Amino acid sequence: MITVNMRSPDFSVSPPLPADAQPVSNTPPRSTPALQTAVTSRPKRAIQTPVNASLQARGQAVSPDNKNVEHFTQAVLTGLDQQLPLFREQKRLNPPGMTQEQVDQQFNERIANLLQVHTMEVEPSSTYAQFNRLGAGDKVTLKQFIQDHGWNLPTDFDALKNLLSYVRRAPLPTQTLGDYGGAMSWLQPPSHEQLLAVYYHPVQALELPADSELFGLLTRTLRLSEAEAAEPERVISALINSPAAQEVGRVLRAKVEAGSTPGSDTDWLLAGLQVSLDRESLLGSVQPPPRNRVAGFDLDDSRFWGQPASTVVAGLTEHLMTRSRASEAMAPAAAHLLLARKAPQFLVRDIPPGSFMARTAGSAYVRQSRASRPSRLAVSRQ
């Protein structure tokens, strides 16, 4: 028989009995003690996924997207509760002489039926629900949820176990503000009219001369230690949390008549900073803009071929100073802010010194060079 230990995060399983094994009795099979324990105990407790546990340990609320993972896991376990007894009954009624391969195929069909028939709840405030226009009370099949996320559809129990382990993994550490795109990185980014509104920023809210872009205005009043100024991420954090920047974010959100939600002021502030630094791409007549250009700077210029990625970052930093988008002290932070949204590959830390830029007809990739130095890498970008 198949025993599923649903209390274990690894879902320990024993495989189906051999095809020639004799049933214990002719009565319909009942759940094993382990399965009965799991069935009766599960509704009394919430599923404690690694994601949920790690967030609760830090005192943070579980996000709607993580709740969808819990709903998915719960629906799979509930489906197994129903499918396993049906499989055992089907196996008991099998004619003599069936091979183990045929028995396994029957069980795989049960897995396919589970994914096709069983549904799960969807958190209406989750990214998944908003993207698929799902509201409160709407449900989707497990198969649809898997396919919408681009995951491989499990065809056997081992694959289903693997998928459950994957979706329940602890999240990787991420930046609190993501790629610093703010509203620019929403599923539905701001319209051209809204971008124009945030570009013509409310300088009247600041006691500063209106002779600079928004990034320059806000960074002019920052008071940073030498250690802070040397780290772009700390500069950006200080900028975003400054009273002047917070006020600008509030005014920008109100100007575009956007709703007030937690973090929305910061999202519109970041959008304003991005537009102030990169109006060529975000407000230009060519939309969508060329993917290798940012603030009028070509990240894929031929002069960078054969050069390390740091050369490109330095070139963009110098370009922003030349265009008066940022001061010499603040230009590295401005370049970091733009690259985080547009080309984060240039912000990878500890790139081997033998890495260099190259160009081929293919897409971006990293390959091991056949050069004499074993550490040499070729980074190719279209």
What residues does each domain of the chain span?
A: 33-167, 182-349, 350-382
Whether the CB-CB separation of 325 and 276 falls below 8 Å is answered with yes
Distance from C-alpha of 159 to C-alpha of 11, rounded to nearest angstrom: 12
φ/ψ bin of 198: left (φ > 0), alpha (ψ from -120 to 50), beta (otherwise): alpha
Choice among 30-44, 194-208, 275-289 with the minimum mean pLDDT: 30-44
Secondary structure class of 358 (helix, strand, coil): strand
Share of the chain above pLDDT 90, in %: 32
Question: What average pLDDT does this structure show over 334-352?
Answer: 90
Contacts of residue 61, Cβ cutoff 8 Å, sequence gap at least 6? 55
- Per residue in 87-116, pLDDT (tens digit) is 888 888 888 888 888 888 989 999 999 999
Whether the CB-CB separation of 264 and 222 falls below 8 Å is answered with no
Contacts of residue 141, Cβ cutoff 8 Å, sequence gap at least 6? 115, 116, 117, 118, 119, 120
What pLDDT score was predicted for residue 62?
66
b (16+ CB within 10 A) / e for 288-317:
ebeeebbbebbbbeeebeebbbeebbebbb
Is the torsion defined by CA of 219, 216, 329, 264 positive or negative? Answer: positive
b (16+ CB within 10 A) / e for 31-43:
bbeebeebeeebe
φ and ψ of 26, to 5 deg: -95, 0
Question: What average pLDDT does this structure show over 59-74?
Answer: 80
The torsion defined by the Cα of 331, 335, 340 and 341, in degrees rounded to 10, comes to: 110
* pLDDT at 138 exceeding the cut of 90: yes
- Per residue in 33-42, pLDDT (tens digit) is 333 333 333 3
What pLDDT score was predicted for residue 241?
93
Specify the pTM.
0.54
In 3D, which of 34, 30, 37, 31 has the Cα closest to residue 13?
A: 34
Choice among 80-94, 196-210, 343-357, 359-373 with the minimum mean pLDDT: 359-373
In what helix (H) or strand (E) does residue 121 lie, and over which residues does it extend? strand 119-121
- Per residue in 18-27, pLDDT (tens digit) is 444 444 333 3
* Residue of 16 and 311 predicted with greater confidence: 311
What pLDDT score was predicted for residue 360?
45
DSSP 307: S
Can you give the C-alpha Rg of the chain in angstroms? 28
What pLDDT score was predicted for residue 363?
33
Question: What average pLDDT does this structure show over 227-236?
Answer: 91
pLDDT bracket for residue 75 (50, 70, 90): very high
Q: If you average pLDDT over every residue of the chain, what do you get?
A: 76
